[in-house]
């Protein structure tokens, strides 16, 4: 054994100061003191701070040097000759119950990219998740995890975890002053280890925070982040082409919205959730069998409170562990790819909760949110609003959007509560908000953030779809950024949803007084690229289930709902239905229990299921119903003003503009025999869908009247058209008539 003298007595006051800072978790620059340093021309010094160690030795290929403990503290050091400075070494640490040998944490140089950090501080870093967070790396031939976190106003930051007994003094991090990012590489650390960041503020407060960019987090009530290798989607060229095809503006898009925790559960196993893998094997085939083209997941970023349904996330880069791990979610995504089913995820960049391990006052200051509550606090949801004016927050949100699309290969994002981001006075009274620099109510920072997200995401893959849930008349939501729009691909048509549901809730005898509520949407139908949503928001918080909104007796309620779905699928705009719409439950959605699958044993409920399946199949195979959703050439009223009879009739056209599809919707219980309806072309029309079909638990009156459901037009003028047909219009029903032979328009 070789020994070396300890440091000179002159260094002792310096050691006292450093040990005090280290022991208090307030060491701001650990790399300036710990590790290997040149002491003078002839000597080097090795210092390490290891709480709980009894002895420490430095090991080289040929030697073993003991380090001297400083005054019964956790600091061990030794002076070595200068030749040692060029040697790779390890530390042998003797604890009371074990001896551990490994590389010195403070012997590794920084691996962070200055350019990447510059872009992060500039607000243009679209892949911050490659640089911040916990990353499995090999440095100097040693595998481990590099931890990095943005906390510019912290006095010191340490990595704590189950690998260091959650001791905030063992792994203090290196500060990059120019960027405010702290970094530390911990060698020989594997996946599935829990960790957090222990932050000491300049006020002396010690707080523990989860990693904002962690790829994996504990399930509540746990709050730790978990080391995890970065997910990598394998998306082949054919899959990219298929993705671009199914998301086009002239493609059939029918979306099934799902809350993974309550679609189906294992009731006989303690009512447990299905895993991502079970959902991949069960949910995806089910959605495909119903004929939907896309699946939309309510937020799956890790969230602490089940009752938020995911809309108050803490781990924006982490698929919730409620349903399994990162690899399990990747399997689920791959199942969607293989089934050629589009996958959208709800994204929540509008606010975040106040959980102490989350983003709020992350480094002791209002880092991610505005300090002024008039800008930084959501009164409706008791949450905090991102400070979109801060460049690093823009990089954070931009990177998060890019992460899901690029690393998991999903089709796109549905952005939640966009209106709350756009308006500074959203849900606020006079005096409770601060105008922008021009005195207006527009949140300029949020606008630029959304534009940047859409530009970058579409720039990375123009085959995706970015969807805005925007409930106001903000202009240009789906207009390109180059033309002063927000750059979304689609927008939810909340006006259509509110108007039509209000109409459908009326007793048929009163509907004639609300006729315009079903036609008004056509006034603005081409102002945006719309999706018609009947989402989870319409069946919670006392609003009642869709079936319960329908008036009349039992048969009429089901008939109303079928007719409404038929009208929806014929109206310009893509479609979205919340899970369970196909079951027609009478109760509101409950996130704590699975859907009532027993309803399918009822002929009436099974009729709704079959109706939606038929609507989807008809929709996908009928170009007139989707190709011209955003063009005025794709729609003409036959009669949009028949309020007295509450009958709506119109024509849909495809790209060729020649072959018409005639749609008739009757929203009263009266059957109309020998109804003369003008049609745009002569020939034979076939009924390709009738929501009153007996297969759907309808009356079948129209089918009997139409025999083979083939109706030939006559040269009899009606509704301003030279040709017309004589049809039976069933009660509370929507029918589609396809021209199958004869002339064209």
> pLDDT means per 10 residues in the chain (745 residues)?
46 81 93 89 89 94 90 91 79 95 95 97 97 97 97 98 96 97 97 98 95 96 96 78 93 98 95 97 98 98 96 97 96 95 98 96 97 92 96 98 96 97 95 95 97 96 95 96 97 98 98 98 97 96 94 98 98 98 97 97 98 98 98 97 98 94 98 96 95 96 67 96 96 96 67
Instruction: For residues 210 and 202, give the distance between their C-alpha atoms in angstroms, rounded to a whole number.
Output: 19
Read off the tokens for 523.
């006034």
- Would you state the pLDDT for residue 293? 98
pLDDT value, residue 232: 81
* Long-range interactions of 6-12: CB distance < 8 A, separation 24+: 6/68, 6/77, 6/78, 6/79, 7/39, 7/45, 7/77, 7/79
All domains of the chain in start order, with CATH: 9-104 (2.60.40.10), 114-226 (2.60.40.10), 624-742 (2.60.40.1180)
Residue 45, strand partner residues: 37, 79
Q: pLDDT value at position 306?
A: 94
- In angstroms, the Cα distances linking 175 to 29, 44, 119, 158, 549 are 7, 24, 17, 11, 59
Give the model's pLDDT for residue 743: 61
Query: What is the rounded CA–CA span in Å between residue 112 and residue 526?
Result: 48
Q: Is residue 355 annotated as a catalytic residue, yes or no?
A: no
So what's the pLDDT on residue 541?
Answer: 87
Q: Is 416 a catalytic residue?
A: yes
CA 596 to chain centre: 26
Beta strand residue intervals within 95-172, DSSP E = 99-103, 133-139, 142-150, 154-161
Average pLDDT, the chain: 94
Catalytic option among 104, 469, 627, 692: 469
Question: CA–CA separation, 428 vs 380, rounded Å?
Answer: 9
Q: What's the CA gap between 519 and 528, in Å, rounded?
A: 17
Strands, E assignment, 458-597 = 465-468, 490-492, 530-534, 574-578
Distance in angstroms between the alpha carbons of the first and the last residue of the chain = 99
Query: What is the C-alpha to C-alpha distance for residues 631 and 624, in angstroms, rounded to an integer?
Result: 12
- Which one from 218, 416, 528, 627 is the annotated catalytic residue? 416
What are the tens digits of pLDDT across the range 148-205? 999 999 999 999 999 999 999 999 999 999 999 999 999 999 999 999 999 999 999 9
For residue 678 the two structure tokens come to 């003008």
Q: Are 697 and 604 in contact (CB under 8 A)?
A: yes
pLDDT at 704: 58
- Which tokens hold the place of 674? 């020998």
pLDDT at 5: 46
- Do residues 258 and 264 touch, judged by C-beta distance below 8 A? no
> 357 and 209 in contact (C-beta within 8 Å)?
yes
According to DSSP, the residues that pair with 182 across neighbouring strands are 149, 175
pLDDT of residue 8: 43
What is the H or E stretch that residue 225 is in? Answer: strand 225-226
pLDDT value at residue 234: 72
Residue 644 near residue 685, CB atoms below 8 Å: no
Residue the block writes with tokens 């340093």: 37
Among candidate residues 38, 135, 35, the one with its CA nearest the CA of residue 77: 35
């Amino acid at each position: 054994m070789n020994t070396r003298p300890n440091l000179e007595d002159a260094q002792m006051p310096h050691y006292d100061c450093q040990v005090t800072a280290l022991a208090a978790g307030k060491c701001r620059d650990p790399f300036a003191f710990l590790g290997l340093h040149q002491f003078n021309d002839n000597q080097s010094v090795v210092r390490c701070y290891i709480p709980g160690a009894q002895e420490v030795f430095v090991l080289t290929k040929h030697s073993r040097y003991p380090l001297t403990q400083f005054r019964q503290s956790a600091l061990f050091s030794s002076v070595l000759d200068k030749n040692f400075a060029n040697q790779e070494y390890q530390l042998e640490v003797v604890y009371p119950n074990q001896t551990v040998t490994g590389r010195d944490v403070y012997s590794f140089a920084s691996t962070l990219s200055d350019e990447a950090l510059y872009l992060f501080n500039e607000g243009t870093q679209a892949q911050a998740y490659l640089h911040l967070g916990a990353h499995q790396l090999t440095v100097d031939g040693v595998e481990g995890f590099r931890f990095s976190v943005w906390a510019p106003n912290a006095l010191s930051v340490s990595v704590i975890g189950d690998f260091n007994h959650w001791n905030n003094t063992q792994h203090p991090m290196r500060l990059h002053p120019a960027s405010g990012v702290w970094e530390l590489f911990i060698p020989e650390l594997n996946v599935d280890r829990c960790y957090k960041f222990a932050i000491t503020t300049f006020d002396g407060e010690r707080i523990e925070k989860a990693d904002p960019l962690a790829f994996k987090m504990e399930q509540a009530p746990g709050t730790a982040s978990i080391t995890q290798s970065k997910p990598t989607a394998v998306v082949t060229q054919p899959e990219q082409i298929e993705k671009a095809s199914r998301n086009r503006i002239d493609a059939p898009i029918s979306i099934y919205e799902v809350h993974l925790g309550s679609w189906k559960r294992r009731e006989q196993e303690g009512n447990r959730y299905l895993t991502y893998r079970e959902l991949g094997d069960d949910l995806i085939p089910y959605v495909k069998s119903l004929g939907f083209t896309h699946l939309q997941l309510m937020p799956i970023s890790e969230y602490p409170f089940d009752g938020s349904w995911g809309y108050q996330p803490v781990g924006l880069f982490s698929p919730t562990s409620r349903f399994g791990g990162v690899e399990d979610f990747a399997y689920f995504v791959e199942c969607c790819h293989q089934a050629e089913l589009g996958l959208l995820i709800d994204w929540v960049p509008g606010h975040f909760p106040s959980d102490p391990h989350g983003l709020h006052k992350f480094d002791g200051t209002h880092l991610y949110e505005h300090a002024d509550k008039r800008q930084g606090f959501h009164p409706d949801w008791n949450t905090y609003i991102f400070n979109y004016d801060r460049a690093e927050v823009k990089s954070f949100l931009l990177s998060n959007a890019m992460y899901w699309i690029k690393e998991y290969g999903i089709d796109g994002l549905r952005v939640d509560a966009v209106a709350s981001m756009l308006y500074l006075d959203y849900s606020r009274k006079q005096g409770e908000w601060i105008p922008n620099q021009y005195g207006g109510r527009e949140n300029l920072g949020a606008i630029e953030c959304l534009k940047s997200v859409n530009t970058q995401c579409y720039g990375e893959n123009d085959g995706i779809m970015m969807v805005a849930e925007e409930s106001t008349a903000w202009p240009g939501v789906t207009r390109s950024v180059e033309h002063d729009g927000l750059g979304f691909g689609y927008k939810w048509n909340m006006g259509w949803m509110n108007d039509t549901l209000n109409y459908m809730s009326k007793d048929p005898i009163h509907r004639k007084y609300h006729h315009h509520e079903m036609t008004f949407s056509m006034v603005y139908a081409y102002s945006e690229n719309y999706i018609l949503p009947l989402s989870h928001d319409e069946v919670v918080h006392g609003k009642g289930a869709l079936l319960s909104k329908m008036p009349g007796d039992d048969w009429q309620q089901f008939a109303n709902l079928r007719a409404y779905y038929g009208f929806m699928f014929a109206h310009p705009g893509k479609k979205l239905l919340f899970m369970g719409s196909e079951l027609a439950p009478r109760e509101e959605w409950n996130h704590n229990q699975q859907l009532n699958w027993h309803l399918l044993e009822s002929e009436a409920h099974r009729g709704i299921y079959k109706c939606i399946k038929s609507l989807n199949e008809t929709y996908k195979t009928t170009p007139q119903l989707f190709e011209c959703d955003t063009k005025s050439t794709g729609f003409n009223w036959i009669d949009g003003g028949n309020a007295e009879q509450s009958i709506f009739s119109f024509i849909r056209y495809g790209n060729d503009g020649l072959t018409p599809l005639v749609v008739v919707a009757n929203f009263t219980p009266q059957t109309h025999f020998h109804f003369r309806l003008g049609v745009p072309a002569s020939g034979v029309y076939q009924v390709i869908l009738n929501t009153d079909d007996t297969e759907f638990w309808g009356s079948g009156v129209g089918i009997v009247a139409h025999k083979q459901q083939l109706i030939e037009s006559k040269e009899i003028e009606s509704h301003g058209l030279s040709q017309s047909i004589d049809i039976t219009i069933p009660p509370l029903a929507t029918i589609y008539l396809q021209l199958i032979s004869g002339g064209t328009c």
